[in-house]
């Protein structure tokens, strides 16, 4: 059973991450950049000349690793954990190369009750080592499906406000984002080596017909589509992005990004064309 006090008090300490232009290019390729290599805006994401980085790359830098699995005293059932939502808030332009220091902590731990699981929010600050400037704050929302009922005799946190749904009208813009059959093989080079995304036998044991694309890759695809459609290809104009990962994407699927423009905010959701499956929901970005 989850130890609320120990888990809530968890801190990563400083996680130092040095990365180069090659890492930024690999991340961009992992989320489908340069599908048109003659498009100058797309080339900026994959060519070391005037290279720029996508804001969602902040989610994968200076990760504290699988600390939920490695700290058995916390009592978290790692095997039943699901990454449900992700946000990134930019405070400065993410450098295309450099050294960042990540500092992660558990910001919220909500007990939904016995047999109903729990919800854990993990916040990560990214600081530029050279300037000591805060670059980004990202948040993972993790569903701990096997860990409900721990708060008897202790105080659990209140749930976060419910995310705002997208408008109930026709989208203002629809963006088609094809994925490659080897998309997960590319994306895993940005650090998530979970074999679920590359090993067909393991994927079958997990109940999938083939390896699935990483949820953070789908999230990165949405970011890239928003940057191209609403920021004229300039990633620094996107200040924040949040979404719920509702269902898996299979490499080779076509993602249809549905967007609503609301002043300086974009509401969005994403479906897989081949199955009409909603794969990203409750999406919001700030331009």
Catalytic residue positions, numbered: 192, 197, 212, 215
HEC secondary structure over the chain: CCCHHHHHCCEEEEEEEEECHHHHHHHHHHCCCCCCCCCHHHHCCCCCCCCCCCHHHHHCCCCCCCHHHHCHHHCCCHHHEEEEEEEEEECCCCCCCEEEEEEEEEEEEEECCCCCCEEEEEEEEEEECCCCCEEEEEEEEEEECCCCCCCCCCCCCCCCCCCCCCCCCCCCEEEEEECCCCHHHHHHHHCCCCHHHCCHHHHHHCCCCCCCCCHHHHHHHHHHHHHHHHCCCCHHHCCEEEEEECCCCCCCCEEEEEEEEECCEEEEEEEECCCCEEEEEEEEEEC
């Amino acid at each position: 059973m989850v130890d609320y006090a120990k888990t809530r008090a968890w801190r990563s300490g400083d996680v130092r991450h040095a990365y180069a232009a090659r890492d930024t290019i690999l991340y961009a390729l992992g989320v489908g950049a340069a599908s048109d290599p003659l498009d100058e805006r797309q080339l900026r994401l994959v060519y070391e000349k005037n290279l720029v980085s996508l804001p969602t790359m902040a989610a994968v830098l200076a990760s504290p690793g699988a600390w939920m699995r490695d700290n058995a005293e916390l009592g978290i059932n790692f095997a039943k954990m699901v990454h449900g939502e992700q946000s990134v808030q930019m405070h400065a332009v993410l450098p295309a190369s450099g050294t960042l220091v990540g500092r992660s902590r558990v910001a919220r731990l909500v007990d939904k009750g016995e047999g109903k699981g729990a919800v854990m929010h993990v916040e990560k600050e990214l600081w530029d080592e050279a300037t000591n400037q805060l670059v980004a704050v990202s948040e993972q929302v993790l569903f701990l499906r096997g860990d409900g009922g721990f708060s008897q005799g202790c105080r659990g946190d209140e749930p976060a406000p419910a995310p705002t749904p997208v408008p109930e009208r026709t989208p203002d813009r629809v963006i088609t984002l094809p994925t490659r059959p080897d998309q997960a093989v590319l994306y895993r080079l940005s650090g998530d080596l979970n074999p679920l995304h590359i090993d067909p036998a393991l994927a079958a044991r997990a109940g999938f017909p083939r390896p699935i694309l990483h949820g953070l890759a789908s999230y990165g695809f949405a970011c890239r589509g928003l940057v191209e459609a609403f920021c004229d290809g300039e990633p620094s104009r996107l200040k924040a992005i949040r979404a719920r990962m509702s269902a898996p994407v299979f490499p080779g699927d076509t993602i249809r990004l549905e967007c609503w423009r609301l002043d300086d905010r974009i509401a969005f959701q994403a479906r897989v064309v081949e199955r009409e499956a909603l794969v990203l929901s409750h999406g919001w970005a700030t331009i």
